[in-house]
Chains A and B, each alone.
Chain A
Amino acid sequence: MKSLEELQAIRDKARQNLNMRGDNHDNIRVVVGMATCGIAAGARPVLNAFVEAVSKRNLKNVSVTQTGCIGVCQYEPVVEIYSPEGEKVTYVKMTADKVAKIVTEHIVNGRVVEEYTIGAYTK
């Protein structure tokens, strides 16, 4: 069973990592649309896949957050990825399967996965 003592040990270990990390100016933000439309269309498995991938690969400069309705409900689940410079890429009709490719290609290697973007769907 997991215990609160275990959490203390995790804290002590994480503190050491934090000290080495320093400031996070190069943060990439993954924003998942989690309004009624997004959730009904299956945003939760997508969100979980991102959280899992980011945590598994230990990507310290990536944050995963939720937002309300992005406004293109017909393309839900929608995920927006913001570069540290604030540029946005919108991925639509997301599934958990697409997440691995986006994490590897876009987040880690900096290459946008064009085929999944809103641009590719609205053509």
Chain B
Amino acid sequence: MKELALNILDLAQNSISARATLIELEVIEDTMSDFLKITLADNGCGMTEDQVKSVTDPFYTTRTTRKVGLGVPFFKMAAEMAGGSFSIESEVGKGTRLAATFGLSNVDRMPVGDMEGVVSDLIYMNPQINFTFRRRIDSKEFFLDTAELKEILGDVPLNSSEVFEWISGYLKEQLESIK
């Protein structure tokens, strides 16, 4: 994987499989302190202590189709090779929270990539899940909460084509404006 956005798309799939109804994503850049921090939290079924310990092991997976699980290990590796760190907390019945920091100017840091595209894809494919997305670059911030959009939309689904076009356009414009 060449972009952090793709890692997020991959990791969000775990939250979806954990039957989360709320997924919260934060991508924060701080030039002064030279870090990039990504947090992904969900209210899904959570993991036991043993599972949390083994989830960064590439040879641990819950899938039944093969014996390796690389999603979390890839993300951890991406953080650590860019002078950052990775942490994961989880509680059965409560949810899971992943956090990774990266050296912002580190040459080995993967580009953030098309984060707005990934967020709009996730919203489109999972209209039943609420997403919040916070993107901060130094003092400028953008925040989206799909629960607010749903309130406006009422019975019109988030993934109807006109709405999807608006969401992806809105995300693009808003993120462009904080760059």
Contact = CB atoms under 8 A, between A and B. Distances in A.
Interface string B158-172: 011111111001100
B163 A7 contact: yes
Interface in B102-136: 117-118, 121, 124-126
Given A11-B156, A15-B156, A58 B13 contact: no
A73 B71 CA distance: 14
A100 interface: no
Band of interface residues on B: 35 or more
Contacts of B6: 39-40, 44
B161 A54 contact: yes
A7 B166 contact: yes
A70 interface: yes
A119 to B, nearest CB: 20
A58 to B, nearest CB: 6
Interface string A4-29: 10111011011100100000000000
Interface of B: 1, 6, 9-10, 13, 16-17, 63, 65-66, 69-71, 74, 117-118, 121, 124-126, 149, 152-156, 159-166, 169-170, 173, 177
Interface of A: 1-2, 4, 6-8, 10-11, 13-15, 18, 34-36, 39-40, 44, 47-48, 51, 54-56, 58, 63-66, 68-71, 73
21 contacts: A1-B173, A6-B166, A7-B153, A10-B163, A11-B154, A11-B156, A11-B163, A14-B156, A14-B163, A15-B155, A18-B155, A40-B1, A51-B124, A51-B164, A56-B161, A66-B16, A66-B125, A68-B13, A68-B63, A69-B63, A69-B65
